[in-house]
């Protein structure tokens, strides 16, 4: 029997979009306008490698929807960052910025490469070449990149410098910059902190005491590390963590600070003492209160969704559940807090950073965290109340709010 072709990441995200468009009663033309990216660019990124050879990488920038404001979205350096994945992530940004009600549209960029195999100098040259190749699409009131998987504040400093060398000093052109170079206090921890705000709100509604709650986090980069660290500070028991090389587990709880220290010395978790070692697949199937995928897309799929034993799934990564997995865990009564809500903390503090850059001003970290908490809590309550009112899942509610607002603004702007 012929096998059904595997859906692309963009098609998968659009399964959620299409169901939302049905519930909202959007007509075919509006639906098509909202589904399709408004502008896309693919670029060749030639880089002189340290050994003198030239390698040409593929880079992308996709501006999905700009109805509600300038395009906003991260830059991913990863071997799987192809056009379809970047499109999917760009569309999620449109619904995310709308759901949390900040004045941006949605975009994403990427370079298909493995940053772990490149030297710092090679990464610097790659970042600068990519920036100058997409520079004409960017602008403080047009499109503002940020870090994502495989990129960080150093990458943003290089991007800002490359852009500024053409346009003059422009700190607001990217967010997630180093604090001493126009960055915002609290930006580095923001996506993890936002994830924690969502867990705290849901735990309260479900009557779960966060103190002692059992947490599993997949991915120990910016998002996973901060989420695990802040949850442990609150008294949660982080029983499992992982990175691309594998996972560690301890029934009595892992010392997250010791794991952070260990990662500074060693590439791998597998030589950390006092813990058990698991594969990433085994980690996802651990019994726990909150399972937080914070690495890569599609890790919970039709093949493993029936074996997930978490009480709640909290999507800190973008698109970690395929639509099939989403249906399986919904049928099993496991609530899923969706990516466009959970990981919005990063873009919210990016919004604060952009605002500070426009005014050449710096906020204290306390103010950043307070304002982040207000916006995350309001978005959580909107999603929860819509889900209860309409008898739908948290993901469906989040999409209905996000897509509905974009459709409404596209209409009142009158460009169609």
Distance, in Å, from the CA atom of 317 to the CA atom of 292, rounded to the nearest integer, reads 8
220 binds ligand NAD (CB under 6 A): yes
317 binds ligand NAD (CB under 6 A): yes
Distance, in Å, from the CA atom of 98 to the CA atom of 60, rounded to the nearest integer, reads 23
State how far the alpha carbon of 301 is from the alpha carbons of 82, 323, 325, 383, in Å: 20, 8, 5, 24
Among 34, 216, 296, 401, indicate the residue that binds ligand NAD (CB under 6 A): 296
Pairing of strands 39-48, 54-65: antiparallel
Min separation Cβ 32 and ligand NAD, Å: 26
Ranges within 249-288 binding ligand NAD (CB under 6 A): 280
Task: Output 256 or 407, the one with its CB closest to ligand NAD.
Answer: 256
294 binds ligand NAD (CB under 6 A): yes
Ranges within 100-159 binding ligand NAD (CB under 6 A): 147-150
In this structure, what token pair is assigned to residue 73? 């979205």
Residue 62 Rama label (left phi>0; alpha psi -120 to 50; beta) = beta
Part of the chain binding ligand NAD (CB under 6 A), chosen from 1-9, 127-135, 301-309, 313-321: 313-321
Sheet holding 39-48, edge to edge: 39-48, 54-65, 106-112, 71-78, 143-147
Ranges within 333-372 binding ligand NAD (CB under 6 A): 343, 346
Element (H, E) at 384: helix 365-390
Q: Closest residue (Cβ) to ligand NAD?
A: 221
Min separation Cβ 149 and ligand NAD, Å: 4
108 is catalytic: yes
Give the closest residue to 291 by CA, choosing from 250, 262, 320. Answer: 320
In this structure, what token pair is assigned to residue 86? 């970047």
Give the closest residue to 148 by CA, choosing from 13, 289, 316. Answer: 316
Which is the catalytic residue, given 108, 264, 309, 374? 108
Task: Output 66 or 293, the one with its CB closest to ligand NAD.
Answer: 293
Min separation Cβ 90 and ligand NAD, Å: 11
- Interface positions with ligand NAD (CB under 6 A): 147-150, 191, 218-224, 242-244, 280, 294-296, 316-318, 343, 346
- Active site residue ranges: 108
């Amino acid at each position: 029997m012929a096998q059904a072709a595997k859906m692309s990441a963009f098609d998968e995200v659009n399964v959620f979009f299409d169901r939302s468009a049905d519930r909202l009663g959007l007509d075919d033309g509006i639906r098509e306008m909202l589904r399709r990216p408004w502008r896309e660019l693919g670029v060749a990124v030639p880089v002189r490698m340290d050994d003198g050879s030239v390698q040409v990488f593929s880079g992308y920038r996709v501006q999905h929807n700009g109805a509600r404001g300038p395009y906003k979205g991260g830059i991913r350096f990863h071997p799987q960052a192809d056009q379809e994945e970047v499109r999917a992530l760009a569309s999620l940004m449109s619904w995310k910025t709308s759901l949390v009600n900040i004045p941006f549209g949605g975009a994403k960029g990427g370079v298909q490469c493995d940053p772990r195999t490149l030297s710092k100098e090679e990464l610097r040259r790659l970042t600068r070449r990519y920036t100058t190749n997409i520079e004409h699409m960017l602008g403080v009131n047009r499109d503002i990149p940020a870090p994502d998987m495989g990129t960080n504040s150093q990458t943003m400093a290089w991007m800002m410098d490359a852009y500024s060398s053409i346009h003059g000093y422009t700190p607001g052109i990217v967010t997630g910059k180093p604090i001493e170079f126009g960055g915002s206090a609290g930006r580095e921890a923001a996506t993890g902190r936002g994830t924690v705000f969502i867990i705290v709100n849901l735990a309260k509604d479900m009557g779960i005491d966060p103190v002692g709650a059992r947490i599993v986090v997949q991915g120990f980069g910016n998002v996973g590390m901060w989420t695990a660290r802040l949850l442990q500070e609150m008294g949660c028991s982080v029983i499992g963590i992982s990175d691309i090389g594998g996972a560690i587990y301890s029934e009595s709880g892992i010392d997250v600070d010791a794991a952070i220290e260990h990662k500074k010395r060693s590439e791998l978790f597998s030589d950390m003492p006092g813990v058990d070692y698991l594969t990433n697949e085994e980690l996802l199937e651990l019994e726990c209160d909150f399972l937080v995928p914070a690495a890569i897309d599609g890790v919970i799929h039709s093949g493993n969704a029936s074996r997930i034993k978490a009480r709640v799934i909290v999507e800190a990564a973008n698109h970690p559940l395929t639509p099939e997995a989403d249906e399986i865990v919904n049928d099993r009564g496991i609530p899923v807090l969706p990516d466009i809500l959970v990981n919005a903390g990063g873009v919210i503090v990016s919004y604060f950073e952009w605002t500070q850059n426009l005014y050449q001003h710096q906020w204290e970290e306390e103010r950043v965290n307070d304002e982040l908490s207000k916006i995350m809590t309001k978005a959580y309550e909107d999603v929860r109340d819509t889900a209860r009112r309409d008898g739908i899942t948290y993901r469906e509610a989040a999409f209905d709010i996000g897509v509905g607002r974009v459709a409404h603004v596209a209409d009142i702007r009158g460009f169609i």
